[in-house]
Chains A and B, each alone.
Chain A
Amino acid sequence: MPDNRFEPRIVAFLCNWCTYTGADLAGTSRLQYPPNVRIIRLMCSGAVDSSYVLKPLLDGADGVLIGGCHPGDCHYQEGNYKARRRIAILEETLKAMGFEGDRVMLRWISASEGGKFAETIKEFTEKMRAKGPAPTKQLWAL
């Protein structure tokens, strides 16, 4: 990075059929987006357990993104509905236990929405940059 400004570290759990493919489309379309994101591919957003989101947050990630198919379009029919409920529960848990709820983002991005993927990464990276480094980066005693 050229200057000393804070570079957020985003971890993204993307569903294979929609969002990961959409990210791939962003790549083949040569759309630019910030390199701050580390992508982890799963077969479905419904396979995301809350602990997968909590671990990076506790380890010091500045933001965690979960990407899935739009409701109604899940490759496995219902996975994204379950993901939606789990993220709703996760957001309440985080807020109640002293975390900033907006370091977790759920977004539906389809395989054809390469542009939306790039925009989402840009948007999330800048939001996390504005928020500053996650307080968990300094906490070894978690």
Chain B
Amino acid sequence: MNGLFPVENNNVRLAVSALLTKVLQSGLVDALLVPLRNPAGDAVTPALVKNPALLAEADPLAPVLPVNGARLASLLTQHSPRPRLGVVMRSCEIRALVELVKLQQASLEGMTLVGVDCTGTYEVPDYAKIAKGTDAATLALRPACEMCEYPAPAVANADIVIQQIGVDNSTALHVEAKGGWPELLGLTETPPNGRADALGKLVTQRSAKRDAVFAEMQAQVNSPEKLAAMFSTCIRCHNCMTNCPICYCKTCFFKTNIFDHEPMQFMAWAERKGATRMPADTVLFHLTRMNHMSTSCIGCGLCTSACPVDINVGAAFRTVAAKTQAVFNYVAGRSVDDPIPVKNFEVNELQQLGER
């Protein structure tokens, strides 16, 4: 149901806090996972909240994504006993959570999912500046956000959606909710508004940007040499992998002693090509990670944000992900009912592969 929640003094953030307080006090959740303003004043970071009073500091609409909340929801639900969680996340986090559920790394059991519209986020240091007074218009959104064609959470995957796109929240917060939530939140029903149009326009704009990024990537990375060039500055910190919500392996095999090769093995490689880049296997790391997780990549771009040498890892991974997901007509994050490619197969598929 499309509804309105009261806003006082034009303060949208506190109206959201009031709405979330109702969720926490509904008796249907034990705690809320929600972004809170950090006491330092320059950051908004997710917190697991039990005391409703602290929801006065909630700021889920703040345009910053320091960590993908799906990773946190996974920590909080990966096995029993688990709390009944209320989780407040934007679309890319919800879509990552959908993938993690299918990878058996998280559970939606007893969860109330509150989605929020996202018009884009800034890099963490840039948001710190905004929080301290810098005009956001002088800063750019994260590259992943500029090509994100899913700014609104899918209602199918959320119990409550707090809207921002195409609606004016200054006098009343626009909320879509299902089940018993409209009544529990005290929503006043309202007819659908200009949101669908505004959303459609934004999606078209973002999709065009996405397609442009894909085309540029394909044109640029058209040889192994160009691929190597893209990762020439990679320092193998593995931040991209660490911050990726989909990379859930407790120990990536690139961090195991498999890659502590014998000294004379390195010498053999150096002998063959004249030299070997050290540490070795940098492009192998990225290509392997693409093969392992691209079918679940939801394009949050935290890989790019985390890279200390400014490699646009996310652009490369989304380009590959679009292709690998298309093989199976799969859209990562769309539904928990879509069979995840790496865990399933059909007897009669891909019949051209393997036959003469």
On A, residues with C-beta under 8 Å from B are 49-51, 54-55, 58-60, 68, 71-72, 78, 80-82, 84-90, 92-99, 106-108, 116, 135-142
Contact = CB atoms under 8 A, between A and B. Distances in A.
Contacts of B349: 84
Contacts of B284: 51, 54-55, 58, 142
Contacts of B326: 92
Interface of B: 217-218, 221-228, 232, 253, 269, 272-277, 281-284, 287-288, 290-292, 294-295, 316, 319-320, 323-324, 326-328, 341-342, 345-347, 349-350, 353-356
B288 A139 contact: no
A50 B222 contact: no
Nearest to B229: A141
B354 A92 contact: no
Contact of B274 (A51, A72, A140): A140
Contact of B221 (A71, A90, A97, A107): A97
Which of A55, A98, A116 has the most B CB atoms < 10 Å from its CB? A98
Determine chain A's interface SS by DSSP, over half rule. Answer: helix
A141 B327 contact: no
Which of A107, A135, A140 has the most B CB atoms < 10 Å from its CB? A140
B341 A135 contact: no
A93 B324 contact: yes
A95 B66 CA distance: 32
6 contacts: A49-B288, A85-B345, A96-B323, A97-B287, A98-B223, A136-B224
Given A59-B269, A88-B350, A92-B327, 19 more contacts: A51-B288, A58-B224, A60-B272, A84-B349, A85-B328, A85-B342, A85-B345, A92-B323, A92-B324, A93-B291, A106-B353, A108-B355, A116-B356, A140-B273, A140-B274, A141-B228, A141-B232, A142-B282, A142-B283
B237 to A, nearest CB: 18
Determine chain B's interface SS by DSSP, over half rule. Answer: helix
Contact of A96 (B218, B354, B355): B218
State the 7 A-B residue pairs at the shortest beta-carbon distance, nearest first. Answer: A50-B291, A81-B345, A92-B323, A140-B275, A51-B288, A142-B283, A140-B273
Contact of A140 (B277, B291, B294, B323): B277
B258 to A, nearest CB: 9
